[in-house]
Structure 1
């Protein structure tokens, strides 16, 4: 009996120990926490909401905190492990607002929170924010245009109003945290502009305008790299001959003047750069029929040049650039990238780019296609051709980007990638800070036709889309600007302005186009009065309170920056 009783007592003791241990919790710091004290008071639902120059952090009291006024410690760190603390605050409320300069604009932060000790109850465990956060800061700095940047300087412009009267300095910070500080006088602050010189070529800078330590505007620039030309041509030189003689990677400089290529030219198995010495497309022109990029390794970079498809005075090129196999158009080929910067392209009768010659989907591969700071107009301007401006169905690529550019008077639609592609990579198509007017015909989708099965990430952002279809009359476009049906695909239309989007002229039975099916956020429908004949898309006369002036995702003016002011 004694043995049995002792056994029962031992069994009871073990059972009590198990219950105690089961009721305790091991925290992320490794401590055993007693729920009878701290766990019931652990704050919950830590939320972080950012405005331009502030972060508002709120939370809920613990489940058993009713009627008890706890104090809380909030830590902010740029380190997710919180080895260093950038900001800490003790409060007895369920929220706190932190304002620049307590937080640095543009930095990524993490937050954690605990309930402090109260009486005999110990502090709670830490609760961590689900995601990092950053503040973008106030934005009175106007969008920085490409023309404002040289190899060693940048011209900055800002809104002149009471909010910028106290500006007193500009900082430029490189990626390795070297800071250049330039003081602003009261007169300069009132002028709304400052040119900073002495910058390093080929360097990325984060630019800020400040009042003391308070950020009043933020931007990012990259100064131009110095160019060393493999060969420099003058008007009258044979450009086709120079291209044929060039080696892979050569940079051919064109002095101001007009160059002519009346025959279709095949650039085979190499990537070449064509660049105007002046970097000014208004004084350097190529009258061009067509260029075919053929075979593995073919690619092209073009900068600072006007491309005029009226190559003979009476004859016009059909397509600017095409991708083709070396021995047969559809042969398997891996191309190098296509980059077009600071150009003017016009008057092609069919389209700008054709990458659909592959014998099947995925046979032709292109790493990336990029158009930046370029004006494109009068492409299939009668709308009689059904080919999209950029026909890239069957082409396997990573990124297709058009940014800081203006496109107008375009027939059919913009992007056709309606053939199902390989699962990987998922192609990304982006229009960013673009101005697009007077576009569409042949019942096409104005923005993109991704077919019924193509997986794509499509982003139309910080841009202006106006007036569909082409204004010549008798034309129509689809009732939505897109076809994106793959369930994994993404279609976004954000921080943009649209107006005049109709399926046909209203007088011809047209009706308003809908954006249903695209994710929409922070958009406007401000009618800017543009018509099919508009060539000047300036926004400089918008009223000070116009939502378009600070409507971009970075708080800047939407559309091609060349028209911002």
Structure 2
């Protein structure tokens, strides 16, 4: 017999409803789910602060009231091949300090649920996806706490700090310790002195043998930055030894409060004046003289335009004693680098004021990448770089252009006596035009004073100046003297009396080689010394490049 399915459904509905009502009745016995294994905790996070890190996670599911504990592992690598710290806790948070972990060290953390009396431990750990690092209590050094030679370091309160180790990192140097006194610990700060300008340092703050914090900082290049509206004379007068003064673009007059031009005086201190732009065309000093007084006096002039016209400058740099010329002085080094110097009536540098030979001493003199013109144009009784009686170690004259100057370039003609190391004179890749006179040896004159002279890769033209005579370019007969003259180009050289000029004096032995006499057509008023395209002088140097000042071969 065929039964209609629709009628069967209707017959079963009452029984189904009764079953549902019975199921919805409250069971007098409550059943709690108890897993056989603890669930893996979740939501792991780390919050580093100072010399602490707070580690948080979410409790395992169904763990309330079970007495569940957690194992926390910390490792330097995310494989946890080596566990650097481990502990067990019933909480879902843990705070660690520099007593357990190293400040500045990246770490990874993982957490797992441990076994209980009724359940096995979790199968897996919850692991941080990225490392954390405790930054420590030493704070970042703001610019306001930095100078070119000092840094004020500050830290969060900690009565246990004992010292700071300072390490020069760029360029690398020798670390040194700064001990913290009780007053420093209370003040939570320390002024660190004896630093060097434009150096990057790392500072590590210690409590006993443990690092409590670290930071890096770079000392600024300039001790002070000056604008043209400020007094450059006062800035130089008030500068300390080793200061570096940065000059914003503008024109600076070396004037006092009465608007009279005065000398820059550096008494037993050495400083640097440097344009911030690096361009001598936009940073100019109208000067009278830089007077270096006494032992320790020195000057570095970098990327500045120096004009002596308004100040009626007799010298650019004048060496003397603190109170009198006759004092014995040991000067700091002198450098003129990337500058233009013009309109000086007597000498670029005068160092012959000592009473006797070797009374004045200096290490190194550098003139580099500069254009120097109109020095003693009248060819009076001064030499451009007068070092007679001065004991010097070395003078380097490199990558410069000199024109319209007299009467000789370098003169160190007073014998310094026995036992004095032979000074070195190096003239390389320079352009010289229209200079010399008064029957001088117009490039280097050592006379009987022993010198080690190297003259290479230069262009030397048009000496002596009109109406003057010259005895030659080089002289030096002192015992032990050495002169070399190689890969130079000379033209327009004569003795001023209708004859050819000699490279060397008759009693001076000079080693020569690869010199040329290509006439470039320069005259007394030439100021553009660009080498012609295709000129053989563009490949005539000892290294296969151009000779003369490199700026004229670009």
**Fold similarity call, TM over 0.5:** yes
User: For residue 99 of structure 1, what is the aligned residue in structure 2?
Assistant: none
Q: Measure the CA separation in 2 of the matches of 1:231 and 1:255.
A: 11
Q: Measure the CA separation in 1 of the matches of 2:351 and 2:469.
A: 25
Contact 2:470–2:501 (CA<8 Å) still a contact in 1? no
Contact 1:386–1:441 (CA<8 Å) still a contact in 2? no
**How far apart are residue 227 of structure 1 and its match?**
5.7
Report the CA distance shift for 1:485/1:290 in structure 2 as closer, same or farther (over 3 A).
same
* Residues 1:502 and 2:497 aligned together: no
The one of 338, 345, 353 equivalent to 1:342 is 338
**How far apart are residue 441 of structure 1 and its match?**
1.4
* Residues 1:482 and 2:474 aligned together: yes
Report the CA distance shift for 1:379/1:227 in structure 2 as closer, same or farther (over 3 A).
farther
**How far apart are residue 269 of structure 1 and its match?**
0.8
User: For residue 548 of structure 1, what is the aligned residue in structure 2?
Assistant: 537
* Residues 1:244 and 2:233 aligned together: no
- The structure with the larger Rg is 2
1:392-471 residue pairs with structure 2 within 5 A? 392-422=387-417, 423-451=419-447, 453-470=448-465
**How far apart are residue 476 of structure 1 and its match?**
1.4
Q: Measure the CA separation in 1 of the matches of 2:387 and 2:477.
A: 17
Contact 2:491–2:519 (CA<8 Å) still a contact in 1? yes
User: For residue 513 of structure 2, what is the aligned residue in structure 1?
Assistant: 521
Q: Measure the CA separation in 2 of the matches of 1:450 and 1:232.
A: 41
> How many residues are aligned here?
332
Contact 2:236–2:265 (CA<8 Å) still a contact in 1? no
Q: Measure the CA separation in 1 of the matches of 2:339 and 2:397.
A: 13
**How far apart are residue 554 of structure 1 and its match?**
1.2
Q: Measure the CA separation in 2 of the matches of 1:272 and 1:558.
A: 33
Q: Measure the CA separation in 2 of the matches of 1:519 and 1:486.
A: 16
Contact 2:349–2:385 (CA<8 Å) still a contact in 1? yes
The secondary structure found in structure 2 opposite 1:446 is strand
Q: Measure the CA separation in 1 of the matches of 2:428 and 2:235.
A: 35
Report the CA distance shift for 1:437/1:399 in structure 2 as closer, same or farther (over 3 A).
same
The secondary structure found in structure 2 opposite 1:549 is helix
* Residues 1:373 and 2:365 aligned together: no
Q: Measure the CA separation in 2 of the matches of 1:493 and 1:440.
A: 18
The one of 200, 223, 228 equivalent to 1:235 is 228
The one of 358, 378, 382 equivalent to 1:382 is 378
Contact 1:412–1:442 (CA<8 Å) still a contact in 2? yes
Deviations along 1:358-414, whole A, 9 cap, x unmatched? 11001111011001100000111122x121100000000110111000000011111
Q: Measure the CA separation in 2 of the matches of 1:227 and 1:336.
A: 23
**How far apart are residue 226 of structure 1 and its match?**
9.3
The secondary structure found in structure 2 opposite 1:481 is strand
Give the unaligned 5+ runs of structure 2: 1-170, 173-197, 200-217, 255-260
The one of 304, 313, 319 equivalent to 2:315 is 319
The secondary structure found in structure 1 opposite 2:538 is coil
Contact 2:495–2:501 (CA<8 Å) still a contact in 1? yes
Q: Measure the CA separation in 1 of the matches of 2:279 and 2:385.
A: 25
Q: Measure the CA separation in 1 of the matches of 2:501 and 2:253.
A: 42
Task: Give every structure 1 segment of 4 or more consecutive aligned residues whose post-TM-superposition deviation is greater than 2 Å.
Answer: none
The secondary structure found in structure 2 opposite 1:243 is helix
